[in-house]
Amino acid sequence: MSTTATVTQTVNADNILHLFPDVNTSLASSHSVPTSDAELTGYDEEQIRLMEEVCIVLDPEDNPIGSASKKVCHLMKNINDGLLHRAFSVFLFNSKNELLLQRRASEKITFPDMWTNTCCSHPLGVPGETGSELETAVLGVKRAAQRKLDHELNIKKAQVPLDKFDFLTRIHYLAPSDGQWGEHEVDYILFIKADVDHAPNPNEVQDTRYVSQSELKRMFEEKNGKFTPWFRLICESMLYEWWNHLDNGLERYLHEKDIRRM
């Protein structure tokens, strides 16, 4: 699995509109995706609708410089030209310190059928989920995490309160899904320990599994295992060290200011 591609230029507030006319330099509640869009022909109707959601467009230092549809942000032709957006990844552990994994639905447009961490998505360009300073951005991604845990897994906000999420760090990575779609994100890593009730939304998630560290390592050893690139990157870098300190010493890893470039 390759996570390499060519980014041809650095995108900033001065050149964003010249490079990407479809970007809105303010934040908007939705971007229309035409139903006749040839690039989305043949995909699931609900997943096409979700391509209208608004992602927060960034410069390389995680400063918001506009907004664009999920579709625009995930086309490789735009990613290769430097378009970058904000994302988050939730790692939810139960009281046994087992990690809840999900396997993405076949209907997903990017990275279908792959195992990944509990929930991965994007804060939207809407009040409450944006932020220019790190503190407000972290609060925004925590709110987005609550929203998507409910949408994907029917985990209600009461079981995952905002103050129980721990922000660790941000990773900047690029990964193609196929020739047309991919990811280029500054991904906020959130840990939460909670015993929750969950029931997967089948249009988003086809399977879930709680795993120990040893069980997860065995999954990666399986010949036919398929994992999202961001999850693999996190597992190959810091996940197990963080996991080892889940109950004792995690605070030393929290609120990292620097962005990890992967």
Strand partners for 67: 24, 56
Note whether 225 and 219 are within 8 A (CB): yes
Residue 64: strand, helix, or coil: strand
Active site (annotated) includes residue 119: no
Strand partners for 193: 93
Paired tokens of 148: 């998507």
pLDDT of residue 33: 55
The whole-angstrom separation of Cα 187 and Cα 219 is: 23
Other beta carbons less than 10 A from residue 156's beta carbon: 13
35 pLDDT band, cuts 50/70/90, is low
pLDDT of residue 30: 52
CATH of 84-261, picked from 3.90.79.10, 3.40.1010.20, 3.50.50.60, 3.40.50.700, is 3.90.79.10
In this predicted structure, the answer to whether residue 9 has a pLDDT above a threshold of 80 is no
Note whether 165 and 112 are within 8 A (CB): no
CA Rg value for the chain: 17
Q: How far is CA 17 from the centre of its chain?
A: 24
172 pLDDT band, cuts 50/70/90, is very high
Residues 6+ apart with CB under 8 A from 52: 30, 31, 32, 33, 69, 70, 71
- List pLDDT tens digits, range 51-72: 999 999 999 999 999 999 999 9
**Greatest extent of the chain over all pairs of C-alpha atoms, in Å:** 53
* 5 vs 256, more confident: 256
Among the listed residues 152, 185, 204, 235, the single catalytic one is 185
The answer to which of 12-26, 182-196, 231-245 has the lowest mean pLDDT is 12-26
Residues 6+ apart with CB under 8 A from 166: 190, 191, 192, 250, 254
- List pLDDT tens digits, range 114-160: 999 999 999 999 999 999 999 999 999 999 999 999 999 999 999 99
Name the average pLDDT for the chain: 93
Active site (annotated) includes residue 55: no
Paired tokens of 37: 């869009």
pLDDT of residue 4: 42
Among the listed residues 120, 183, 204, 235, the single catalytic one is 120
In this predicted structure, the answer to whether residue 8 has a pLDDT above a threshold of 80 is no
